[in-house]
Each structure stands twice: as structure tokens, then as C-alpha cells.
Amino acid sequence: MRMLRLFGLTFSMSLRQATAFRTNLLFDVLLAVLSLAGALAAVRLVYSQTDSLAGWSGSQMLVLVGTFQLMSGIKSTFVDPNLGWFPGRIRDGRMDLYLLQPAPSLFLASLGTHAPLALTQVALGAGVVGFGVTWGGALPSVAGVLAWLVLLVAGIGVTWALGVFLACLAFWAPRLELDVMYGAAWELARYPVDIYRRPLRFVLTYVFPMAVITTLPAGALVRGPNLTGVLTTCAAALGAMLLAGVLWRVGLRRYTGATS
């Protein structure tokens, strides 16, 4: 409960800072709309030539695109504002500020800053998911909706854990800008992993699990849930989050601070 209250306070502070500049809100909404419009135009272009792509129909692909937009909004709101700074602050010792606070340093470093305006992407993505579901004709079952929501939560955990993994590598190689690599890999989740060849599909499923971000939740919603798959994904997400905490503590042992 203490962490939840702290999270609420930091989000409230970020929201007040963000809404102080109304023009930024307009531009963020415009950029989100343009980005989503480009993705939808690409889907329309592909499905003007075919009725199915790797087993995904047009309406199912819309659900996947909407899920990707929703998850991208969550990533942009809660993960990106925090984890992109790791290499620079480790190099100059500014991470001392987090280590001296009376709260878990991993929480402050990875969830202490937010970009609330990016939540517009979440709203737009949810709208596209709803449109894709209704356009498909067959409404999903209650179990499918619940599985989608559960897998979204698991995907959020994996998104945070992957960000922490890459950021923690800066303890060993502080000049690497690994957030660029994360951003490039993230874009691969825009499409179902079924369209990629086997080596890359294996990597995106088990090594750098972008499949958890969009393919699995969208598949559960439009094709029905697989209980074993849902439980396995949740267990893997929990394991990834615990491993992120371990890697953080190991990395801190290498951190020497600003005074060394």
C-alpha cells in the first residue's frame, strides 16, 4: 500500500507538470492520432491484397494493432520516462539521489517519473480494439476478455522487466545506449510473431518476448484463451520481474557513486 500511495503521488505530480503546458497535450494527441492512422493505413493496404496474413484476418489484425497501441501508450507513460536515463546517470553519479531516498531505489528509478499525456495512446488503442472486435462480427467470450486483460497485465510486467534488464547493463557498459535497441525491438511487436521466420520467431517468443506484448493478448481475445498458455505467460512474467530485481541488486554492487 505504501508503494501504491507513492506511485499515486508521483503520477499526480507528473500530471500537474504535464497539464501546465496545454499545447503539449494537443501535439501529443495529434502525434498519437497520426501514428495510429499510419498503422491502420498499412493494415488496409495489406488486406486489400489478401484476406489473411499468417492466419490473421483483417478484423483480428485491427485488434492486434489496437493492443499494440495500448501497450505502447503504457510503455511511453510509465517505462520510457524513467529507464532511458540510466547510462548517463550512472556515468555522472546522479543515481545517488535515488539511493539516498527512504524508498526502494528500483521503484524510484524505474517508476518515479511519468508522462501522463501518453495515455491518449491507451485510449486510442482501446477504441481500435473495440472496433476490431465488433467489425469481426463474433463477439469474444467473457473468458476471452478476461484472458486478454490478464495477458495485458503480464505484458506490462514483461515490458517493465525488459526495460530494467537493458538499463541495468549500463552498470557494466555505461556508454551503451540500449534504449535505442529496445525501441527497435518493440516495433516488431506491431505485427503477429507468426509472420516472422522461425529463428526470429523463437527470439521474439522466448528470448526477447515481444509476443507477450501483443500477439498473445490479441490472440486470446479473438481466438479464445488457452488456460495453460495464460498461466505459463503469467508465471514467466512474474519470473522476469523477480529476475529484474535480482539484476538490479547485483548491478548496484558495481555502482561506485559520484564521490568515487
- Cell triple for 164: 530494467
d(CA 73, CA 84): 16
The distance between the two most distant Cα atoms of the chain, rounded to a whole number of Å, is: 64
- Cell triple for 128: 481500435
Q: What's the predicted TM-score (pTM) here?
A: 0.89
Sign of CA dihedral 178, 184, 189, 192: negative
d(CA 86, CA 124): 30
d(CA 218, CA 212): 10
Cell numbers 481475445 correspond to: 221
- Cell triple for 92: 555522472
pLDDT confidence of residue 260: 46
Which residue from 3, 133, 159 is spatially nearest to 74, judged by alpha carbons? Answer: 159
- Who contacts 188 (Cβ-Cβ below 8 Å, separation ≥6)? 196, 204, 210
d(CA 166, CA 161): 9
pLDDT confidence of residue 50: 86
d(CA 6, CA 137): 43
Which residue from 125, 115, 31 is spatially nearest to 69, judged by alpha carbons? Answer: 125
Cell numbers 486470446 correspond to: 220
pLDDT confidence of residue 126: 94
- 10 Å CB burial of residue 96 (0-12, 13-18, 19+) is middle
- Who contacts 218 (Cβ-Cβ below 8 Å, separation ≥6)? 60, 63, 64, 67, 148, 192
Q: Euclidean distance between the first and final Cα of the chain, in Å?
A: 36
d(CA 140, CA 58): 16
| CB atoms inside a 10 Å sphere around CB 40 | 17
pLDDT confidence of residue 103: 81
- Cell triple for 247: 539484476
- Cell triple for 114: 511519468
Going from the first residue of the chain to its last (260 residues), give the mean pLDDT of each consecutive group of 10, the final group possibly shorter: 83 81 76 86 87 88 94 92 73 76 84 87 93 82 94 95 86 74 84 87 87 92 91 95 93 71
Q: What is the DSSP string of 83-138?
A: HTTHHHHHHHTTTHHHHTSSS-HHHHHHHS---GGGHHHHHHHHHHHHHHHHHHSS
